[in-house]
Amino acid sequence: MSTDDQMSTNTGHAEIRAIVVDDDADVREIFIELLQMNDIKVVANGINGKEAVELYKMHHPDFVFLDYLMPEYDGLYAIEQIREFDPNGKIILVSGSHFERNVLGDTVKAIIKKPIEISEIFKAINRITLTT
Amino acid sequence: MTLQPKELGIKSSDEWMVSNELKELDAAESELVEKEKHLTMLTNESFSKMKEVSKINRDLQNRIKSLQELSASLNRKNDELKMANKELERKTILNDQVSLELKEKLERVTQKEKELSMQRDFLTRRLDETTQDLVKAEKFAIIGELSARLAHDLRNPLSVIKNTMDVMSAKQNMKIEERLQHIARFKRAVQRMSHQIDDVLDFVKKTEMMLHQVSLRSIIDSAINVILIPPNVKIFLPSNDVSIMCDSRKLEAVFSNVILNAIQAINDNGEVKIRVMDIGTHVKIEFEDTGSGISVTAMQKIFDPLFTTKQTGTGLGLSICKNIVEQHGGTITVKSPPTIFTITLPKNM
């Protein structure tokens, strides 16, 4: 990924507000840094599904970047709770495995596989913004 | 003989002749009397002899009679014996028949036993095969789950490496502090990846046991040596020691795993007490920590492969420990709170 790509992909996304939820501190922190570098404002972050729901209700973000496998309250819990609260909630699942695709169907707007490729993130954001 | 007295005085030749004859007669008469006497005596004698003989005869007859009786009774006895013998023979024949039948039945039983034993062997084999298949299937299932999990777990540190690289290459003029922070992330990511791979490999491969007599204290000491003990953690070592037959390298891995878990459970702040107890043929090793304890649901699955409550755990550590302890013919159990892991091992496996 080059800087030029970032410049071209992130134009028009300056106002995006997001929350990041991942139980892995290193993954979470560097991902947030990368998003902020690309003008996505990360308003809050959490470590499990329960925190994701609380943060969503508190901040009403444009996007939720959500991990799937987390201790106690996992991504599925967050997806169900957030959709109940806001059926149009834009959840992007950022995960390590394939099996979520079968489980989740269209309950999430996109599934991004780790290692996170920032250009994939922007592709997803663009697609979701255009279709809604 | 009649004597005529008137003729006594006349001595004539006739008279003389008569007297002679008379004399002869008398002599003959006395001889006769004598003979008669003798005869009578003989008669008496023979009579008494006869009496005696007849007595003997009677006796003999009596004896014969009693002999006859005896013979009769013997005959009777003989008959009885014959009967008994016949009966015995009959019984013997019957017995032989029964014995033959029994023999046949026994043969049938033996045959049945043989069949049953064969069937049992067959079933045992089938059971073994099925068990092996099941174990294999379970192992495959676990390995399948394991590789999915490993892939997932490797993606996290991989993501960290990739994103850190993205950030570092985007920010060319980075402050040294920030750079060091990123380098630390790299290090952690690489460490986690190798740790996860090591754990999976340890779980998948089951190596041979290298048994020797070793002191438990020395194993505990070397287990602690491989762990970086945080400054606020106090470890209490056992004052006593027991030597046992074991694979010390494997047990060292078990002990360091359990001690590391204890240190994590107390959040790098508290105490870990290790006790060694000699209980005869076995030895008991306890690891107690001052952590808040383990939930009942977590305790039920704590030794299951892939079960973890930690963010970066593989869920294999205690499962591997259990395998090793069981390979030694021992057991590992847990109770909480306070959390105590108890390992029981035979002294001479």
Confidence of residue B10 (pLDDT cuts 50, 70, 90): low
> Which of B152, B154, B159, B165 to mutate to probe the A interface, most A CBs <10 Å?
B159
Encode burial over B287-320: b for 16+ CB neighbours within 10 A, e otherwise.
Answer: bbbbbeebeeeeeeebbebbebeebbbbbbbbbb
Measured CA to CA in angstroms, residue B49 lies from B30, B38, B56, B60 at distances of: 27, 15, 10, 16
The answer to whether B237 faces chain A, any CB pair under 8 Å, is no
Report the number of distinct structural domains present in chain B. 1
**Residue A3 counted as domain residue:** no
Expressed as residue numbers, the domain containing B254 is 211-346
| Two structure tokens written together for A120 | 């994939």
Q: Please state, in angstroms and rounded to a whole number, the distance separating the CA atoms of residues A68 and A22.
A: 8
Backbone phi, then psi, for A72, in 5-degree steps? 65, -75
Cross-chain residue pair A114–B159, CB shorter than 8 Å? yes
pTM above 0.80, yes or no: no
Interval B248-294: pLDDT, tens: 988 998 999 999 999 999 998 999 999 999 999 999 999 999 999 99
Instruction: Say if residues B250 and B324 touch (Cβ distance below 8 Å).
Output: yes
Interval B137-146: pLDDT, tens: 766 777 777 7
Q: Of all helices (H) and strands (E), which one includes residue B263?
A: helix B248-265
The answer to whether A24 faces chain B, any CB pair under 8 Å, is yes
Q: Please state, in angstroms and rounded to a whole number, the distance separating the CA atoms of residues A18 and B213.
A: 61
- pLDDT at residue B312, as a whole number: 65
| Two structure tokens written together for B147 | 């590789």
Report the number of distinct structural domains present in chain A. 1
Confidence of residue B339 (pLDDT cuts 50, 70, 90): very high
| Chain B neighbors of A23, CB-CB under 8 A | 311
| Two structure tokens written together for B119 | 């069937």
**Residue B228 counted as domain residue:** yes
ipTM for the whole predicted complex goes beyond 0.90: no
Expressed as residue numbers, the domain containing A75 is 12-131
- Chain A's closest residue to B309, CA to CA, is A71
The answer to whether B185 faces chain A, any CB pair under 8 Å, is yes
CATH number at residue A91: 3.40.50.2300
**Residue A2 counted as domain residue:** no
| Chain A neighbors of B164, CB-CB under 8 A | 30
Cross-chain residue pair B159–A23, CB shorter than 8 Å? no
Tell me which residues of chain A have a pLDDT lower than 50. 1-13
Cross-chain residue pair B162–A117, CB shorter than 8 Å? yes
- pLDDT at residue B213, as a whole number: 94
CA distance A50 to chain B (A): 16
**Residue A5 counted as domain residue:** no
Instruction: Say if residues B275 and B286 touch (Cβ distance below 8 Å).
Output: yes
- Residue of B148, B159, B182 lying closest to A115 (CB–CB): B159
Interval B195-220: pLDDT, tens: 888 777 776 666 778 899 999 999 99
How much is the average pLDDT of B319-326? Answer: 89
- pLDDT at residue B69, as a whole number: 86
Q: Please state, in angstroms and rounded to a whole number, the distance separating the CA atoms of residues B89 and B149.
A: 86
Token pair 């008379």 is found at B22
**Residue B243 counted as domain residue:** yes
The answer to whether B148 faces chain A, any CB pair under 8 Å, is yes
